[in-house]
Chain A
Amino acid sequence: MKKAHLRAAFLDTIPVMAGYLFLGFGFGILLYQNGYGIGWALAMSLLVYAGSMQFVLVSLLSSGAGLISCALTTLLVNARHLFYGISMVDAYKGSGKKKPYLIFSLTDETYSLVSSHPAPEGMDRHSYCFVVSLLDQIYWVTGSVLGSAAGSLLPMDLQGVEFVLTALFVTIFVEQWLSTKNHMPAVIGVASTVVCLLIFGRDVFLIPSMALIAAILVMTRKAGRREEHG
């Protein structure tokens, strides 16, 4: 692999690096405050590797939740990963030995990069995605271990730092909005989710939201086709 390619991939991951170091750090601190040290932070960030779910996992651990409620909560919070998989099925075809890790490491942020950034010229797309995925997990693990090590000695008041995740998604949303003429999918995504949040409440709205989004997208596809043919 060429140095120039690695450099290009690295530059693309910088926003995620900032977000993951911040967020991972916050996660490490939270975990430490709940009585779980560096080893736990390392294990969770290596094996679970799902940003928001790891925050939820801390509260599951501290509340002494049972295994079934752990499984159900994960299903609810992480069901959106099904969508990432569906949209990367074609892109990851033929990626061979890299494939298991490419799939395992498909977090929100990694997905946002591999689904939207083209590989630098001359670089194999799968290698590019692999480097991006691996760098992202390194940032996340580093951040959470540092946060855990920092423990109680907070350098400053970090209240509000969790907003970095919201800011990341808003940025990608705006970037996508500016880069396409068809704003229907974006509007459908926001509107469906808001409607489901109002109807179902904040604990269980994600799965109905996804069902509604998929249903509307499928219906608008048929409508679009009819117009083409009619």
Chain B
Amino acid sequence: MDDRQAILSIGVVALVTIALRFLPFFIFGENRQTPPLIAYLGQVLPYAIMGMLVVYCLKDVSLTAAPFGLPELMGCAVVAALHVWKRNTLLSIGGGTVCYMLLIQFVFA
């Protein structure tokens, strides 16, 4: 791919992303009262979306071939356990990630 094409591709990706981010704010503008349904969705969606993003991150894990998603499962379990225990975000993320890296580099290599 030459540079001109690459720049165009990046431009398209940037524009679509910006459009998606701005659209709701254009539809439910500054002066209009937000419809109750949208206000309700605004309250409950954060919980549902975070669940969706967790699944999204794990979408490429294969449960039918070795290592059967074990490193990911163990990594997530460590993150969750650390967080329930200490409720320290940085510790949960750091501990879980290091644990996962060790697992795939040494245990399941």
> Hey, which bits of chain A sit against chain B, CB under 8 A?
14-15, 18-19, 22, 36, 40, 43-44, 47-50, 53, 57, 60-62, 64-65, 67, 70-71, 73-75, 78-94, 99, 103-104, 106, 108, 111-112, 115-116, 157-161, 163-176, 178, 180, 183, 185-190, 192-194, 197, 202, 205-206, 209-210, 213-214, 217-218, 221
Contact = CB atoms under 8 A, between A and B. Distances in A.
B50 interface: yes
25 contacts: A18-B93, A36-B6, A48-B10, A48-B17, A50-B17, A53-B13, A64-B5, A74-B12, A80-B52, A81-B21, A83-B45, A85-B22, A86-B24, A87-B42, A104-B18, A104-B21, A106-B21, A112-B46, A160-B71, A163-B97, A164-B97, A171-B92, A174-B92, A175-B89, A206-B52
Contacts of B65: none
Given A81-B17, A174-B79, A197-B59, A89 B25 contact: yes
Contact of A85 (B21, B76, B94, B97): B21
B94 to A, nearest CB: 7
B23 A82 contact: yes
Top-9 shortest CB links A-B: A189-B51, A85-B24, A189-B48, A87-B42, A185-B47, A160-B101, A190-B51, A166-B57, A74-B16
A175 B87 contact: yes
B68 interface: no
B66 interface: no
B54 A70 contact: no
Contact of A189 (B12, B24, B38, B50): B50
Most buried by B among A115, A171, A174, A180: A171
Contact of B30 (A93, A187, A213): A93
| Interface SS of chain B | helix
A43 B104 CA distance: 32
Most buried by B among A94, A104, A163, A213: A163
Given A86-B42, A189-B51, A193-B56, A171 B89 contact: yes
Contacts of A192: 48, 52
Given A103-B25, A167-B75, A167-B79, A157 B59 contact: no
B105 A160 contact: yes
